[in-house]
Amino acid sequence: MIFLADEQATLDLAAKLAVLLPVSAFSIHLKGDLGAGKTTFVRGLLQALGHSGKVKSPTYTLVEHYQLNERDVYHFDLYRLADPEELLYLGIEDYFSTNALSLIEWPEQGKGVLPEPDLLISLNYQTSGRQVTFTPYSAMAEQICEKLHN
Ligand code: ADP
Ligand code: MG
């Protein structure tokens, strides 16, 4: 568990994670209430990976594609997904079969269709600031988590 005092702390931790990520396929689920900081965390990751413009919340488009240092990065926001089956029409297999990095907000909405992530990031409100918990689902993610806590 890591305490994030303010927005900058969220961005800094995301940047720390960015340099630890493998270049092979890797998926991250981000859970937390509205306003918990999921998109902020994604913005920190994308910027640390070389993205310089704005980061749009793909609330209506469901997914936003980035190409950063020749790597495909997909940012999903499944908040408005009506049915997990809708993901099948997006051709999600393609997103996970290449060496893509996928960052998925509201993964609960894709339950039963979305594959298990490598890493789950849970963000929670505190009286002031946020608290973040990392749950690794792969050996690679376990190593990353150890480094994140140092
Ligand atoms: P979500 O995508 O989870 O709905 P956003 O990232 O869009 O949340 O919004 C989170 C809000 O909380 C933003 O206004 C952001 O500046 C703020 N925020 C992010 N991290 C922290 C933090 N550690 N402490 C306080 N506020 C934060
Ligand atoms: Mg969001």
Percent of the chain exceeding pLDDT 90 equals 87
Q: Could you tell me the maximum CA-CA distance found in the chain, to the nearest angstrom? A: 41
CA 35–ligand 1 middle distance (angstroms):
5
State both tokens at 112: 């039963």
CA 56–ligand 1 middle distance (angstroms):
14
38 Cβ closer than 6 Å to some ligand 1 atom:
yes
Predicted pLDDT of residue 92:
81
55 Cβ closer than 6 Å to some ligand 1 atom:
no
Read off the pLDDT of residues 96-112 as tens digits, 9 standing for 90 and up.
778 999 999 999 999 99
CA 97–ligand 1 middle distance (angstroms):
31
Q: What are phi and psi of 56, to 5 degrees?
A: -80, 140
Report the pLDDT averaged over residues 28-40.
98
Q: What are phi and psi of 68, to 5 degrees?
A: -125, 120
- What fold does the segment set 2-148 form as a domain? Rossmann fold (3.40.50)
22 Cβ closer than 6 Å to some ligand 1 atom:
no
Residue 49 makes CB contacts below 8 A (sequence gap 6+) with 18, 68, 69, 71, 73, 101
State both tokens at 61: 């488009």
Report the pLDDT averaged over residues 18-31.
96
Per-residue pLDDT at 95 exceeds 90: no
Give the range among 41-45, 52-56, 105-109 with minimum mean pLDDT: 52-56
Distance of alpha carbon 136 from alpha carbon 149, whole angstroms? 13
Taking a C-beta distance cutoff of 8 angstroms, is the pair 38, 105 a contact? yes
Taking a C-beta distance cutoff of 8 angstroms, is the pair 137, 10 a contact? no
Predicted pLDDT of residue 139:
96
Pairing of strands 101-105, 26-31: parallel
